[in-house]
Amino acid sequence: MKAIILAGGSGTRLWPLSRKNYPKQFLKLNGDRSLLQQTVERLLRAMPAEDIILMTNSDYKFHVLSDLNSLSLSVPLPASNIILEPASRNTAPAIALGIKYCVDKLGCSEEDVVFISPSDHIIKPVGKFIKYLKQAEEIAKKGYIVTFGIRPDRPETGYGYIKVRREASGVRRQAFFDVEKFVEKPDAKTAARYAGRGNYYWNSGMFAFSIGTMIKEFKRYAPEITKIASMNFNEMVAGFNQMPEISIDYAVMEKSDKVVTLPLDLYWNDIGSWDSLYDIFDKDKMGNIKKGDIVAIDTKKTMILGNKRHISTIGIEDCLIVETDDAVLIAKRGEAQKVRDVVNKLKKENRKEADEHVMTYRPWGNYTVLEEGHRYKIKRIAVNPQERLSLQMHHHRSEHWVVVKGTAKVIIGEREILIHENESAYVPKSTLHRLENPGNDLLEIIEVQNGDYVGEDDIVRSDDKYGRQVLKNNV
What CATH number did the domain enclosing 103 receive? 3.90.550.10
Tally of CB atoms within 10 A around 164: 24
308 and 237 in a single domain? The answer is no
Classify residue 133: in a domain, yes or no: yes
**Structural domain boundaries, residue 222:** 2-272
268 and 199 in a single domain? The answer is yes
113 and 176 in a single domain? The answer is yes
Q: Which of 253, 272, 291 is the last residue of a domain?
A: 272
417 and 450 in a single domain? The answer is yes
Q: What are phi and psi of 196, to 5 degrees?
A: -95, -5
Distances (CA, A) of 186 to 107, 147, 190, 334, 345: 42, 19, 6, 14, 23
The Cα–Cα gap between 22 and 63 comes to 8
The Cα–Cα gap between 37 and 121 comes to 11
Domain count, the chain: 3
Q: Which of 299, 306, 301, 360 is nearest to 329 (CA)?
A: 306
Q: What are phi and psi of 390, to 5 degrees?
A: -70, 155
Q: Contact 198/158 with Cβ under 8 angstroms?
A: no
- Tell whether the torsion through CA atoms of 272, 275, 279 and 280 is positive or negative: positive
314 and 377 in a single domain? The answer is no
Classify residue 75: in a domain, yes or no: yes
56 and 76 in a single domain? The answer is yes
pLDDT tens for each residue of the chain, 475 residues long: 999 999 998 878 899 999 998 999 999 998 899 999 999 999 999 999 999 999 999 889 989 998 998 898 888 899 899 999 999 899 999 999 999 999 999 999 999 999 999 999 999 999 999 999 999 999 999 999 999 999 998 888 888 999 998 654 444 456 889 999 999 888 889 989 888 888 899 999 999 999 999 999 999 999 999 999 999 999 999 999 999 999 999 999 999 999 999 999 999 999 888 998 998 899 999 999 999 999 999 999 999 999 999 999 999 999 999 999 999 999 999 888 899 999 999 999 999 999 989 898 888 999 999 999 999 999 999 999 999 999 999 999 999 999 999 999 999 999 999 999 999 999 999 999 999 999 999 999 999 999 999 988 899 999 888 877 655 444 4
